Amino acid sequence: MKDKFELEALGLLRALTGDAAADFRPDQLDAIHRLVALRERVLLVQRTGWGKSAVYFIATRMLRDRDAGPTLLVSPLLALMRNQIEAAERMEVRAVTINSANRAEWEEVEKKLEEDMVDILLISPERLANQRFRNELLPTIIGRSGLLVIDEAHCISDWGHDFRPDYRRISRVLDFLPGVPLLCCTATANDRVIEDITNQLGSGLRIIRGPLARAGLRLHVLEIPSQAERLTWLADLLSKVEGTGVIYCLTVRDAQRVAEWLTSVGTQAVPYWGGLDSDDRIETEQALLSNGIKVVVATSALGMGFDKPDLSFVIHYQAPGSPIAYYQQVGRAGRELDRSWGVLLSGREDADIQDYFIHSAFPPARLAERVVSLLERRAEPVPRDVLFQWVNVRAGQLENLLKNLEVEGAIEREGNGWRRTLQPWTFDRNRVESVTAQRRTEQTQMLEYIRANGCRMRLLGSYLDDADPEPCGMCDNCTGQSLVTRFDPAIVQRAVEHLRRVELTIGPRKQWPDRKRIPEDLGLEQGRVLAVWGDSGWGTLVRSGKLEEGRFSEQLVAAAAELICARWTPEPPPTWVTSVPSLRIPNLVQDFAARLAESIRLPYKNVVEKVRDTEQQKFMQNSHQQYRNVRDAFEIQPPVPLGPVLLVDDIVDSKWTLTVVGGKLRDAGAGLVYPFALADAAGRTLS
Amino acid sequence: MRNEDSLATILLVSRMHSKGMQPLSAPEYWKLREVCPRPGVLLGRTEEQLVSDHGLGRKLASRIVVLLNRVRAIAFELEKLEHSGIWTLTPFDEYYSRHLQDRLRSKAPATVHAAGAIELFEKPGIGVVGSRDVSPEGAEVAKDIAAKAVELGFSLVSGGARGVDQLAMNAAFQAGGNVIGVLADSLVRNLRNPDVRRAIYEDRTVMCTPYSPETPFKVWTAMGRNKLIYALSEITVVVASGTHRGGTWSGATEALEKGFGRVGVWRGPGEGLGNNLLEERGAQPIRSIDELEAVWEVGGQDIEENSGSSSRPEQASLFEESALSGKS
C-alpha cells in the first residue's frame, strides 16, 4: 500500500520519464522524502545514470507545490543539461540557466524570477562567485528559501581528485544555511572523500550511497611503453571498433598529437582541452553526442556533466594519477549499452607527468608567504600584472597560488585585483603534506591496478569502498583475453615519423609586458619549431646535441632544412640567416645556423652580439621577468643586410629573446624576421 | 553549522538585501526575544504557525516570514563578509560583548559587525570621546589619558572620528596598547585604510559597527554608535564637549540619563564649554591624569599584564591624521 506522498512522487516520476509503468529505485524515494518532508541535508553517492536528476526535479516540484522558493542547482557544466531541462518540463518544472553564454537572456530570466515563474535555476560555481551577479541578481533569485542542489559534490573535498576552489566557497555558504533542504550529488566518492564532505558540511548530512561499480564495461590494460607503438595500436583498434568513444590523454600536446595521428590514418578524431573556446568545446561535444565524429581525444577537461549513454569505448593513452579519476573517466563508457570497452594504455612517460602534477599542485610555502606579505602591505587591490612583477612565477602557477590562497581565506578578489583579507593566515604545511601523501598513495594504487592479476572492476570497486564488489567476469583478467596485437612495422615507422613531425609554430608576440602594442615594423613574423625539447622524435637529438655532444647533428640540420623548404616555405622567403648568440655555449647555435644556411643556400651573417650575460630564460617564470632579463642583453653589429631574415635559436621558451633580438634587427634595417628554433622548451608545461 | 539562533537574529534585523522589507528594530527584536528566547525555532515556520504556536501578531508574523525567507541571499553575504575577515556577532555568539546586552538592554544592537581582534570585547576598556575640533591642550589630554589607559592594562575604546577619537586611538596604539574602534559608518570603507589594516594584522585592534558594513554616515548613526562606546567601556572620559549641542554632548547626556555606562569628564586645561554641565549632571570629574587610576578603580583583576609602552617604543600610527572616517 503506497502512501499519499509516494503516490504523488510516483506520478511525477512517470510524467518525467514518460513511462506509465516506471517505478522508483528505493533510495530515490527515500532521498525525495528526506528533502521534501523532513527538509534534511542529503549526500547522494550513486553511479552515473542512476537517476540523481529525477530526485532533484521531483523534489523541486513537490517543494514548489508546498510554497517553497525556486531550487538553486550548482553544477560545473551546464551547456549539456539541455536534455535534462526538457525532461523537467514534462512534469512542469520550469528550468532556466544563467551563464556567460546567455547574457542576452539575463534580463528576461530575471523578470521570470521576479514573477516567480522559475522552478529551478541552474548555475555554475564560477558564476556564483562573480561579484556583479552576486550583488544584482542573486538577491532576487534566491531571496526565497528553497532547495539547494550541489552537483558533483566531490569537488568540495580537497582529497578528491577534482577539487575546485569555487566549491569551497559554496561549502562555506552552506554553513549559514541550517534548516534549508540540501542535496549533494556525486558519482565518484570513496570513504575518505565522503568523510571530508561530511566534515565540511556538518554532521547533519544524511548519506545515501549505492554501489558504484559498473556492469557491462570490459576493462583492459596494456602496458606499451613507446608512444609510437601506442599510436600504432590505437590506429589498429579504431579501424575495427564500432561506435564512438573518447581517448583521454594527460597533456594538451598529447591530445593534439594523437588526434592528428588518428586523422592522418583515416579516423575522424577531434582534440579537446580546457583552453579551447567554450563554443568550440560545445561544438565538439555536440558532434560526438550526435555521432558526427568517431572519437574525441581529450584531456580531463572533458569531464563532469558530459553524458553520452551510448559511448562504446573510453581509452586512456596515458594512465591518470588515481584509480578514482580513472574510474570517473572510464565510467562514461556504455552506460546504456550492454557491452562497452574501457582500455588503459600505460606508457613510459606516465610517472613523469603524474609527478609533475603532484609537484605543481601546491605552491611552495615561500612563494605563498611572499605574496601574502606583499599584499598585506598594500591597502588597495593589486592587479595580476603587478603581482607578476613582484614574483618570478609562471602564469599558471600564479593562478594556482591565488586560488589556493583564496580558499584558505588569505586573500580575496576585488574588481580586477587581489587584496589581503583581514583574517589571520599561515601556510598550511600539514594540509599540503597530507594531500601530497594521499596523491602518492593513489599513484601507487594506479600502478597496482595496471599490474593486477585479479578482476579489475572488483579492484576499482574496492578503491571506491564499494561493499563486497563481485568479479565482473568480463575484464582481461577475468576472461584471460588480451587486446595485444602485433604491431605492423610500417605503421610503427609512420607513427615515429608523425611524432617527429609535430613541428610547432612560434606565434609572434603582439604586446610588451606592459601591454603596449609592439609596432608592426618591430614585430616577428610567424615562425617554426622543429621539436619538443627532450620528446621522442627530434627532441631527444636536440637535447643530446646541447647537453652531451656540444654540437647539433647533421640529422637535425637536414630535418630543419626539410621543414623550412618543404613544409614551411615562408613568403616572401628569407634571403639571409643569422642566429641568437649565447655566452654559455659560445658556438653552438652559430655553428648550427651556419650549417643550416649552407644547406638551404643562403648566406649566414653574424650580426647579433650578446653584450651582457643573462640568467637562463627557463628560470624566469613570467613575461615581466623574462623581458627584463633579456631586453638590454643584445646589440646589433652593422651592417645588416636588407632582406627578410631567418633568425635561428636552439630553444624557444617565452619567445622574449626572439622578440627582443628580432625587434633590434628590424630597427637596424633588416627585413621581415622569421624565427626558427630547434626545440620548444614548453614541454615543462603540461596542460 | 552556524548557530540557528544567531542566524535567525541576523535575518530578523539585518538591513542587507532588505529591499521592500522591514527589518526589526533593536527594541522590536528584544521584545520578540521575550516571547521567543530562541529565535532559531522560527526558521522554516509559516505565518500561521508563528501566530498559533508563538502567539505573534499577524502583521509581525508576516514580516518575520519574509525576513527569514531571505536566508539564502544573506548566507552568501555573510560568507563574503567572513571571508574578508568581517564577523557578524549576535547575542548568541561568544564574542558579542555581554556589556552591550546588560547595559543597553532594549537598545542593544542585535548584530555587530567586527573585524580584527574580536577577543578584545572580552577585556576591559576605557572610552575616550570628545569633539572633532579639539584645542591643542585638549589634544594633549586625550593622548595622555589614552597612554595612561594602556599603562594600566586597558584597551582604548573610541569612535574613530577625527579629533579626540583618532588622537586617543593613535596614542594608545603607539603606546603598544589595544584599540577598539566603534564606527558610525562604512566599516568596509574604513577597513581599506592601510593603517587600520596594519593594526589588525598586528592583532591589537578591532573595528566594529552596529550598522551594516557599508552604511554611509548619517547623524543618527553617529548617535547610535556613541552608546556602544559607553557600554563597552569600564568608564568613558569626555575630554571636551560643547553645550547642548554636538554628538559628544548628546552621547554623554544620553549615557548619563539611561545608565549606558560610567561617564567621566575632564575638568582641566583643554576642556570644552559643556564639561562643567556634564559634571553637574552626574559625570565623574577628573582633574589630573594621576587621578585616573583611582577613578577607574578596576586595579588589576581581569586585566592582563600589559606588554606595552616600554617594549614597543616606536609604534606607527594607527591612523594617519584625518585619514579615517572624518566628516566635518
pLDDT above 90: residue B207: yes
pLDDT of residue A142: 61
Contact flag B4-A179 (C-beta cutoff 8 Å):
yes
Contact flag A180-B201 (C-beta cutoff 8 Å):
no
pLDDT of residue A686: 35
Query: In this structure, is residue A312 part of a structural domain?
Result: yes
Q: Provide the percentage of residues in chain A whose pLDDT is more than 70.
A: 94
CATH assignment at residue A406: 1.10.10
Of B65, B150, B131, B137, the closest CA to residue B328 belongs to B131
Examine the domain organization and report whether A513 and A479 are in the same domain: no
The average pLDDT across A380-393 equals 85
DSSP state of A379: S
Examine the domain organization and report whether A223 and A202 are in the same domain: no
The strand order across the sheet containing A417-420 reads A382-383, A417-420, A411-414
Examine the domain organization and report whether A42 and A148 are in the same domain: yes
Examine the domain organization and report whether A472 and A427 are in the same domain: no
A580 grid coordinates: 641568437
Query: In this structure, is residue A560 part of a structural domain?
Result: yes
Residues B52, B55, B60, B64, Cα dihedral to 10°: -70
Taking CA–CA distances from A422, the nearest residue in chain B reads: B85
Top pLDDT among A597 and A75 is at A597
Query: In this structure, is residue A48 part of a structural domain?
Result: yes
Instruction: For residue A67, list chain B residues with Cβ-Cβ distance below 8 A.
Output: 46
Taking CA–CA distances from A421, the nearest residue in chain B reads: B84
pLDDT of residue B140: 95
| Alpha-carbon distance B68 to nearest alpha carbon in chain A (angstroms) | 8
Residues in chain A, overall count: 687
Examine the domain organization and report whether A244 and A369 are in the same domain: no
pLDDT above 70: residue A83: no
Examine the domain organization and report whether A552 and A616 are in the same domain: yes
Query: In this structure, is residue A513 part of a structural domain?
Result: yes
Examine the domain organization and report whether A344 and A361 are in the same domain: no
Task: Render pLDDT for B114-143 as a digit per residue (tens, 0 to 9).
Answer: 999 999 999 999 999 998 888 999 999 999
Examine the domain organization and report whether A546 and A640 are in the same domain: yes
Whether residue B200 lies within 8 A of chain A, CB to CB, comes out as: yes
8 Å CB contact between A348 and A226: yes
Examine the domain organization and report whether A186 and A239 are in the same domain: no
Please tell me the total count of domains within chain A. 4
Whether residue B193 lies within 8 A of chain A, CB to CB, comes out as: yes
pLDDT of residue B40: 92
CATH assignment at residue A264: 3.40.50.300
Task: Tell me the pLDDT band of B151, cut-offs 50, 70 and 90.
Answer: very high
Top pLDDT among B216 and A326 is at A326
pLDDT above 80: residue A309: yes
Q: In angstroms, rounded to a whole number, what is the distance separating the alpha carbons of residues A298 and A311?
A: 14
Among A176, A376, A424, the residue with its CB nearest the CB of B79 is: A176
Instruction: For residue B200, list chain A residues with Cβ-Cβ distance below 8 A.
Output: 422
Least reliable range by pLDDT among A76-80, A105-109, A123-127, A619-623: A76-80
Least reliable range by pLDDT among A105-114, A338-347, A463-472, A619-628: A619-628
Instruction: For residue B38, list chain A residues with Cβ-Cβ distance below 8 A.
Output: none
- Residues 45-74 on B with a CB inside 8 Å of A are 46, 68-74
The secondary structure of A15-66 as a DSSP string is HHHT-TT----HHHHHHHHHHHTS--EEEEE--TTS-HHHHHHHHHHHHHHT
Whether residue B17 lies within 8 A of chain A, CB to CB, comes out as: yes
pLDDT of residue A172: 85
Query: In this structure, is residue A480 part of a structural domain?
Result: yes
pLDDT above 60: residue A687: no
Whether residue B20 lies within 8 A of chain A, CB to CB, comes out as: no
Contact flag B72-A177 (C-beta cutoff 8 Å):
yes
Contact flag B76-A138 (C-beta cutoff 8 Å):
yes
pLDDT of residue B312: 41
SS3 category, A413: strand
CB atoms within 10 A of CB A643: 14
Query: In this structure, is residue A493 part of a structural domain?
Result: no
pLDDT above 60: residue A1: no
Residues 6+ apart with CB under 8 A from B232: B97, B99, B100, B121, B125, B127, B157, B180, B182, B261
Examine the domain organization and report whether A161 and A286 are in the same domain: no
8 Å CB contact between A273 and A341: no
Q: In angstroms, rounded to a whole number, what is the distance separating the alpha carbons of residues A22 and A137?
A: 38
Whether residue B316 lies within 8 A of chain A, CB to CB, comes out as: no
Contact flag A176-B78 (C-beta cutoff 8 Å):
yes
Q: In angstroms, rounded to a whole number, what is the distance separating the alpha carbons of residues A89 and A71?
A: 14
pLDDT of residue B26: 94
Task: Tell me the pLDDT band of A328, cut-offs 50, 70 and 90.
Answer: confident
Examine the domain organization and report whether A193 and A235 are in the same domain: no
Instruction: For residue B2, list chain A residues with Cβ-Cβ distance below 8 A.
Output: 175-176, 178
Of B168, B202, B166, B208, the closest CA to residue B187 belongs to B208
pLDDT of residue A413: 86
Instruction: For residue A378, list chain B residues with Cβ-Cβ distance below 8 A.
Output: 194
Query: In this structure, is residue A497 part of a structural domain?
Result: no
Q: Which residues of A touch B (CB under 8 A)?
A: 39, 67, 69, 72, 128, 134, 138-139, 142-146, 148, 169, 172-180, 202, 204, 376, 378-380, 409, 412, 420-424
Task: Render pLDDT for B63-93 as a digit per residue (tens, 0 to 9).
Answer: 999 999 888 888 888 988 999 999 999 999 9
Contact flag B69-A143 (C-beta cutoff 8 Å):
yes
Query: In this structure, is residue A264 part of a structural domain?
Result: yes
Taking CA–CA distances from A407, the nearest residue in chain B reads: B83
Task: Render pLDDT for A24-54 as a digit per residue (tens, 0 to 9).
Answer: 998 999 999 999 999 899 999 998 778 888 9
> What is the ipTM score, two decimals?
0.80
- Strands A382-383 and A417-420 turn out to be antiparallel
Domains of chain B: 4-86 (no CATH), 117-311 (3.40.50.450)
Q: Which domain holds residue A142?
A: 4-209
Instruction: For residue B72, list chain A residues with Cβ-Cβ distance below 8 A.
Output: 69, 72, 142-146, 148, 177, 180
Task: Render pLDDT for A205-248 as a digit per residue (tens, 0 to 9).
Answer: 999 999 888 888 999 999 998 888 999 999 999 999 999 999 99
pLDDT above 90: residue B6: yes
Instruction: For residue B40, list chain A residues with Cβ-Cβ distance below 8 A.
Output: 178
Examine the domain organization and report whether A193 and A49 are in the same domain: yes
CATH assignment at residue A607: 3.40.50.2020
